[in-house]
A and B are shown apart, each in its own frame.
Chain A
Amino acid sequence: MISRKYQSIIILCLSFFVLAACSAQSTGQQHEVKEVNLLFNFATSSLDPNVDTSYVSLRAGITETLVHLNDKDLTIEPWLAKSWSSKDGQLWEFQLRDGVTFQNGEAMDGQAVKASLERAMKDSLAIKNALRIESITAKGNALTIKTEVPFPEFPSELVHPNTSIIDVTEPDFINKPIGTGPFAVSKFIPGTAVELTRYEAYWGGAAKLAKARFSFNEDANARSLALESGDADIVFRPEVESLASLEAIDRVKVESTSTFRVHQMTMNLEKKELQDINVRKAMDALIDRSAIAGTILHGHAEVAKGPFPSTFSFAPSYPEKEKGMEAARRYLEQAGYKEVNDVMQKEGKPLTFTLLTYSSRADLPLIAQVFQSDAGQLGIDVNIKQIEIPEEYMAANRDWDLTTYSNLTAPRGDAGYYLNATYHPKGALNFSGADDDHLTAMIDELNVTVGQEKRSDIAEDIALYVDEQVYNSFILHPNTLVAYDADKVKNWITSRSEYYMLTNELDVK
């Protein structure tokens, strides 16, 4: 029935697919070279280290920053800069590490770093605002940087991956940035992967791996399947639901590490009900943190006692608080509320809340539902409203009471970012509308205090005050999950900061 012409077309198509399948098998058999494939959960179409917000260049070991975040205690330590100092927090002297070269063989000296930082500030407004640099002077391996205002946390801002040092004389920042890291780009397929080769003259010692591949897939199920199939050796954030099946595979090891993120219940302090501290305490007591961490995050989270995870040096010992349904009821009674006919009310007005949540973090809507259910048992009606971009909605609208929100706390090892952004009246993330003179004065003091110890002491006091006033309620610190082929991969360290992934120490067995 089918003519010869059509038969030929069908045969041609089938041959095309069969040939392609064969080509895949042949490439899969090459295992001679020491190589790993890391599968990351964000994709990028540009490797530009100063602009790309997936930070692939730093994570893939192509570039490095002046200052490093120690993954054990999340404090800052030297990296491309071997030391720094400042007397007034405004004029900074940096001494660069000797003998560091870019992957093109050029020396990394003061002039190169100056040009790189100036380029970063020119092309990224975020970095310009983060660094607040007025001028840079370079002489040999010494760098003098003056900030616009006294800025004691300046060195910690240099941890930011977008401040990566690159050779700006090279033309192709997007596809082949030239950094100082242990791996150089050999091929970049935008949105899919970057292929890397060892940089033999790396200052920290040539990488143990000859090659590496840093690939991207935003679907958690697909990432898990890639590890199962052997396509990927290390997989970032596999699907939580598939962890049991991954752990059942002998060669696969799953690691769960705390990070510096906090899931919190943001409270709108402009709402009359929430201006009463007892109502805020009641909401805080209502949140069943252990149950949420256990059931929604399958135990891969640290129950939050305050804004900062216990790993940070500035995380204080918070006083124990009363928790649970009965404690919440008592706080509400102190605020003048009574439960009448299963409805919590004050002067005949029922207590109701609009709770915002958003789906880009899958656990937040579930936390909102748990809270709604628990509040319902106390006679509080919680109306959940799904929004798309929380920062935009909360800034532009005041028709909400509570929000399940996820915040970075100290992404560069200093408390200044979170406290300024979230509790200072001028902070862009101060959605609660916190405007407390005492709190503002403490943050202002932190902003001019030089020295890590002193800063930590002030940050501790602020964290304790915020917790005491229940300006927000802190739920948990979610963990980062990494699964990898333990039969193949050696020396893998799951980075708490999530900045440092492919290192010169990473190896295969």
Chain B
Amino acid sequence: MFGILLRRLFEVVMFVLVVTFISFLFVRLAPGDPVLSILQVDDVSITTEQVNGLREELGFNEPLLLQYGQWFLNFIQFDFGRSYLTNQPVLKMIMSSLPATLELAIGGLLVMLVIALPLGSLAALYRGSLIDQLSRAVSLVGAAIPSFWLGLLLIDLVAVRLGALPTMGRDGLSTLILPSVTLGLAITSVYVRLLRSSLIDSLSQEFIRAARSRGISERRIFFSHAFRYSLPPVITVFGVSLGSLIGGVVVIEVIFAYPGIGKMVVDSIRSRDYPVIQGYLLIMAIIVFIVNSAVDVSYRYLNPELRLKERNQRKWS
């Protein structure tokens, strides 16, 4: 047990080192110069000497390894630095934007589940039927419609014409619905098709036939055996795509003026606000790492075969 913990800890340390170093290199090597934004060069009369002076002062002329070392030293003391532009602590900025994105992601996932679970399941159960054709159509249309267009369409329909919901903002549940539906519809298509094919595969397994031969009801076979068996591929895709889901909601955040982390980081990239970009990349990497670890654990719960295999391995070793 102690060995496993030690191995996990080593993995985490290596992961943080690799992620922070690579992201630091990418951010610093990308073209761009935060000094121009800091000095508001497009609004305040600045000389080239002042620009060069600040670059020197902020250490941008130092070797990259030295700059990384300085950043890492601060990081291990939980000091993520301050934004060059707003002068706010980076960690505070991230932590104040993250909840909005998380609630948007959860809202989108809820919408996705409400649509994808019944549609994918029915399409698998009634293969080739009208409902299967419908699920295919929904998937195709969902994959083809860009989120920004769908968002504007929903605002026009629900907020402007029906006057049922606010057009934008983050002010309670009412402002969460339209962005959640936009996000949910955008990601539904993948999961409908994935769940359908995974269910078809599990319904053709021998253990399902065995269960039927034992006289177990169809409802129990579906929910307790087939459905559960079909979930690991869906969860795998979810785990892999969670990072892009959180980072990729920026279009929706902009249209609905939802102040999430995606919008914050795009603004930071635009003005080359290095401490914010670096902090964001690290936090995102940690979230993805945690989710993928949770996905690993969920396999053991969802797939008894895997659990048995591991138990046997332990027994014989």
Contact = CB atoms under 8 A, between A and B. Distances in A.
Nearest to A25: B164
A191 B114 contact: no
B39 A125 contact: yes
B47 A1 contact: no
B86 A45 contact: yes
A46 B177 CA distance: 26
A215 B257 contact: yes
Contacts of A53: 40, 43, 85
A340 interface: no
Given A28-B166, A127-B44, A189-B171, 18 more contacts: A6-B117, A24-B165, A43-B263, A53-B40, A53-B85, A126-B46, A191-B97, A191-B257, A191-B259, A192-B259, A221-B152, A222-B152, A222-B256, A229-B163, A231-B166, A232-B167, A426-B49, A427-B46
Interface string A1-27: 111001000100110110111011101
Contact of A129 (B48, B50, B117, B167): B50
Given A123-B87, A189-B259, A192-B169, A417 B160 contact: no
Contacts of B38: 125-126
B41 to A, nearest CB: 5
B88 A43 contact: no
B286 interface: no
8 contacts: A1-B219, A19-B173, A28-B163, A45-B93, A45-B96, A126-B39, A225-B152, A408-B43
A375 to B, nearest CB: 27
B305 interface: no
Interface stretch (B29-37, B68-76, B202-210, B288-296): B29-37
Nearest to B84: A125
Contacts of A46: 86, 88
Contact of A391 (B41, B125, B155): B41
Interface string A420-442: 11001011110000000000000
B255 A219 contact: yes
B174 A21 contact: yes
A222 B113 CA distance: 27
A427 to B, nearest CB: 7
Interface in A40-59: 43, 45-46, 48, 51-53
B17 interface: no
Contacts of A20: 172-174, 176-177
Interface string B206-224: 0000000000000100110
B224 to A, nearest CB: 10
Contacts of B257: 43, 191-193, 215-219, 222
A130 interface: yes
A467 interface: no
B45 interface: yes
Contact of A420 (B40, B45, B117, B156): B45
A217 B168 contact: yes
A417 B270 CA distance: 24
B170 interface: yes
Interface in B112-163: 113-114, 117-118, 122, 125, 148, 151-152, 155-156, 159-160, 163
Contacts, number: 201
Contacts of A19: 173
A190 interface: yes
Contacts of A231: 159, 166-168
Contacts of A130: 44-45
B81 to A, nearest CB: 16
A318 to B, nearest CB: 24
Contacts of A228: 160
Contacts of B282: none
A189 B110 CA distance: 25
A174 interface: yes
A3 B121 CA distance: 13
Contact of B48 (A190, A192, A219, A426): A426
Contacts of B148: 219
Contacts of A326: none
Contacts of A45: 86, 88, 93, 96-97, 259, 264
Contacts of B174: 20-21, 23-24, 27
Interface in B245-270: 254-260, 263-264, 270
Nearest to B151: A222
B155 A222 contact: yes
Nearest to A27: B174
A149 interface: no
A389 interface: yes
Contact of A21 (B164, B168, B171, B223): B164
Contacts of B167: 222, 225-226, 229, 231-232
Given A16-B173, A129-B46, A408-B42, A392 B36 contact: yes
A391 B46 CA distance: 13
B36 A191 contact: no
Contacts of A395: 36
B159 A229 contact: yes
A225 B173 contact: no
A46 B97 CA distance: 12
Interface in A378-394: 388-389, 391-393
A45 B160 CA distance: 27
A24 B168 contact: no
A416 B46 CA distance: 11
B255 A222 contact: yes
A177 interface: no
Contacts of A125: 38-39, 54
Interface in A183-207: 189-193
Interface string B16-33: 000000000000000111
A411 interface: yes
Contacts of A17: 177
Contacts of A229: 155, 159-160, 163, 167
Interface string A51-90: 1110000000000000000000000000000000000000
Contacts of B97: 45, 190-191
A218 B254 contact: yes
A225 B50 contact: no
Contact of B44 (A24, A192, A225, A417): A417
B225 to A, nearest CB: 14
Contacts of B263: 43, 191
B52 to A, nearest CB: 10
Contacts of B85: 51, 53
A21 B160 contact: no
B47 to A, nearest CB: 4
B107 to A, nearest CB: 9
Contacts of B160: 225, 228-229
Which 9 pairs, one residue from A and one from B, show the smallest C-beta to C-beta distance?
A: A191-B259, A24-B174, A20-B173, A126-B40, A217-B257, A428-B46, A229-B160, A426-B47, A130-B44
Contact of A392 (B32, B173, B219): B32
B51 interface: yes
A416 B44 CA distance: 10
A411 to B, nearest CB: 6
Contacts of B175: 24
A17 to B, nearest CB: 6
